Amino acid sequence: MSVPVIDALARQYPELRITVVSRPYVGPVMRMLPQNVSFVGVNLKNYKGLSGIRRLYKELKTLQPTALADFHNVLRTIVLRGFFKLDGIPTAYFDKNRRQRKNFIKANVKTQQRTSFEGYQQVLAELGYPVRIDWHQPFSLFGNISRPGMDISAETNTPAETKTQSGSNSRQGEAVFAKENAIGVAPFAAHRGKIYPLDKMEQVVAEVSKQMHVYLFGAGAEERSLMEQWEQKYDNVESVVGRLADMGEELRLMSRLRLVLAMDSGNMHLASLAGVPVVSVWGATHPLAGFLGWGQSMDNVIQEDLPCRPCSIYGSKPCEYGDYRCMTGISPERVLEATNRILH
């Protein structure tokens, strides 16, 4: 969610030298931003404890920063920015508004909370860099990105790959060709309370695949195994789990889709960055809490109006009833209706 804000900062202050420090996997996305944005990937396993954070501080200090914007505001970054503050460098941090969030969960009537985008803007404004977000998928860089073994250019004359008897065609290194009439489905999220029941999602995939090609997105061995099962079971279904080189390739593929069906998850935000409509399914969390994807419409949100939801801001709290009725109560037909409304 920080990408549109960092992009705005870079474009509206072209004289600034901006360094984004984060986990390595987000690097391919950050490198798509304007030339005055650079990226430092940090493997946190190499910076454990107070001594590790202090060592990271010393390494980052060599970049000679004149200000530090903490978009995360967790214990690790609090300590890190403390070192910079002691060094006389201006700092500002993302206020998570914990009290307001607790009140939001308890409130009977839900009103729009400050979004993360607005929170990041506030951090930059405190440092003297107010920005206006004007993100409209400025990824014209897509055409200039190439990865060994990957081809996500639109291919209309390439025959569909043959599925082998030994399992699937989703082996690392095989080419992925973006079909012209296709949607993406990202059925996973970090917590169970944010995942639509997979048996119901399979029904959705099976039905949509009768009309068009379906790309399945995910990460991890278990997710990959399940997605490959669906790939083998249904025509026009293709898993890209483990096949794409990095997050940048995922964005490239998503940018060519007609829509993406996702949970309250990272893939919802990636699809939003790619500039495609997103049908998002919400359970334990709520889109008005400030985490809806950039540019997405509440009209494309699927959720149950239950007195027990949202029960959590991030979806990590176990269901008090044990049945996750906020998700199980949503029928596959309702999801299909939402996707068809956009497609047709």
Q: 311-332, pLDDT tens digit by residue?
A: 999 999 999 999 999 999 999 9
The predicted-structure confidence for 297-312, as pLDDT tens digits, reads as follows: 999 999 999 999 999 9
The predicted-structure confidence for 32-56, as pLDDT tens digits, reads as follows: 899 999 999 999 999 999 999 999 9
The conformational region for residue 145 under phi > 0 = left, psi -120 to 50 = alpha, else beta, is beta
For residue 1, give both structure tokens: 């969610």
Question: Please, what is the Cα angle at 237 between 234 and 241, to 5 degrees?
Answer: 125
Nearest to 262 by CA among 308, 217, 319: 217
Q: In the chain, which segments carry CATH 3.40.50.2000?
A: 151-343
Instruction: Give yes or no for a contact between 101 and 289, defined as CB atoms under 8 angstroms apart.
Output: yes
- Does position 163 have pLDDT exceeding 90, yes or no? no
1-38 CB burial, b ≥16 within 10 A, e <16: bbbbbbbbbbbebeeeebebbbeeebbbbbebbeeebe
Q: What is the pLDDT of residue 185?
A: 98
Strand partners of residue 260: 184, 278
DSSP H or E run through 315: none
Rounded to two decimals, what is the model's pTM? Answer: 0.87
Q: What is the pLDDT of residue 229?
A: 97
Hey, which CATH number is domain 151-343, 3.30.420.40, 3.40.50.300, 3.40.50.2000, 3.40.50.1580?
A: 3.40.50.2000
Q: What would the CATH number be for the domain defined by 3-126?
A: 3.40.50
Q: What is the pLDDT of residue 159?
A: 31
